[in-house]
Amino acid sequence: MSSKSLDSFLQQNLDDLKDKGLYNVIDPLESPNGPMITIGGRELINLSSNNYLGLATDQRLKDVANQAIEKYGVGAGAVRTINGTLDLHVQLEEKLAEFKHTEAAIAYQSGFNCNMAAISAVMDKNDAILSDELNHASIIDGCRLSKAKIIRVNHSDMDDLRAKAKEATESGLYNKVMVITDGVFSMDGDIAKLPEIVEIAEEFDLITYVDDAHGSGVLGEGAGTVKHFGLSDKVDFQIGTLSKAIGVVGGYVAGKKDLIDWLKVRSRPFLFSTSLTPADVAASKKAIEILMESTELNERLWDNANYLKKGLVELGFDIGASETPITPCIIGDELKTQEFSKRLNEEGVYAKSIVFPTVPRGTGRVRNMPSAAHTKEMLDKAIAIYEKVGKELGII
Ligand code: PMP
């Protein structure tokens, strides 16, 4: 028998979320997460995946993953520091360092995990972290876990960052001060002002931490936001995920050798959670090799992204501050956002609504994620459906 207090807590809160249009329904896919997906037996144009380059279903990745399973099995068998480090893990980390132009790199089981691991391995209660208010949830949780003083910075507001950096460093209260930001902000698609952030960091001796989950494979001809701005030697922590453009799963830190050596002995998911599977590691390594060899997929991604964005803007949709393939259509009201997404789905487009707490209240949006794998015909069809539903609901 379950606890009465738990039952009433769950019922009240779930009902409340449903009434406010904040309850997220999960639709299982019956197909790969490619440009077209099948849900409930219906084929839909997929504008919700992070599979930017289409690599999640790439035959070259599937082949090396299958070979890795044949050679090593399906699981790594232990945490990295016991005997769960395969030669494949080492090769992946060497490739990541090459990809990010750093001395070394360390891989984790997810991007989320990586932020929890890396921030708390370096920062503690005697430190402070200047964190952009729109940073990803995993950054926020990593900061909280570290017990450092968290100083929220207004989104991409460099005057606010400078003032707070000055105050924190001159207060004498903290041993170390870090500035932490997404490279590309995941819900709006705008790019962090890294040149200014790095300049402020140099002025006040801040540790710099950039989570480039949505920039890698996308900006800097695929190498990421730090490379895009030519700042590879000026950022202490370059974080990435293997789950978006790379198409697999996992996360990583790229940086100086001493930093990576420290993370190997002090970051808890590395020490206490079983390492990435052989198939994940082999496929990720292959994806990075493909990205380093050719910019073809990256160019196709941008071509499709620009095409979709132009189509939506011409129809009158508000795509906010987007500078990257992440293309929100901002609706505002949560219930209307959910209705919009539902109608798009009925007409043949899968574009998920994103509402509080993922974004601030009153800024509900349908977020579109074009990929290199979409065809122009798919995008034309999606734009036509947006026009129909947008007019029907009085959004455009
Ligand atoms: N950081 C950012 C900025 C993200 O957008 C995400 C993905 N939602 C993550 C970290 C987490 O990455 P992963 O999905 O690999 O856990």
Q: What are the pLDDT digits (tens) for 251-291?
A: 999 999 999 999 999 999 999 999 999 999 999 999 999 99
- Ligand 1 centroid to Cα of residue 149, in Å, is 23
Residue 21: predicted pLDDT: 73
Q: What are the tens digits of pLDDT across the range 381-393?
A: 999 999 999 999 9
Which residue minimizes the CA distance to atom 14 of ligand 1? 111
Structure tokens at 385: 């459906």
Residue 356 pLDDT more than 90? no
Residue 55 pLDDT more than 80? yes
The residue with tokens 């060899």 is 293
Residue 322: predicted pLDDT: 97
Residue 13: predicted pLDDT: 96
Q: What are the tens digits of pLDDT across the range 10-37?
A: 999 999 988 887 788 888 999 999 999 9
Q: What are the tens digits of pLDDT across the range 113-162?
A: 999 999 999 999 999 999 999 999 999 999 999 999 999 999 999 999 99
Pocket test for ligand 1, best of 51, 96, 112 (most atoms within 8 A of CB): 112
Residue 1 pLDDT more than 80? no
- Ligand 1 centroid to Cα of residue 384, in Å, is 31
Mean pLDDT for the stretch of residues 89-112: 98
Residue 357: predicted pLDDT: 82
Residue 70: predicted pLDDT: 98
- What's the pTM value of the predicted model, to 2 decimals? 0.96
Mean pLDDT for the stretch of residues 340-361: 93
Residue 19: predicted pLDDT: 86
Residues designated catalytic: 186, 214, 244
Residue 269: predicted pLDDT: 95
Mean pLDDT for the stretch of residues 93-121: 98
Q: Which residues line ligand 1 (CB under 6 A)?
A: 110-112, 115, 136, 138, 182, 186, 211, 213-214, 241, 243, 251
Residue 159: predicted pLDDT: 98
- Ligand 1 centroid to Cα of residue 137, in Å, is 8
Residue 254: predicted pLDDT: 98
With both helix axes pointing from N to C terminus, report the angle between 296-315 and 278-293 in degrees, rounded to the nearest 10.
80
- Ligand 1 centroid to Cα of residue 213, in Å, is 6
How high is the mean pLDDT of the chain? 96
Residue 303: predicted pLDDT: 98
Residue 23: predicted pLDDT: 82
Domains of the chain with CATH codes: 20-49+295-393 (3.90.1150.10), 58-293 (3.40.640.10)
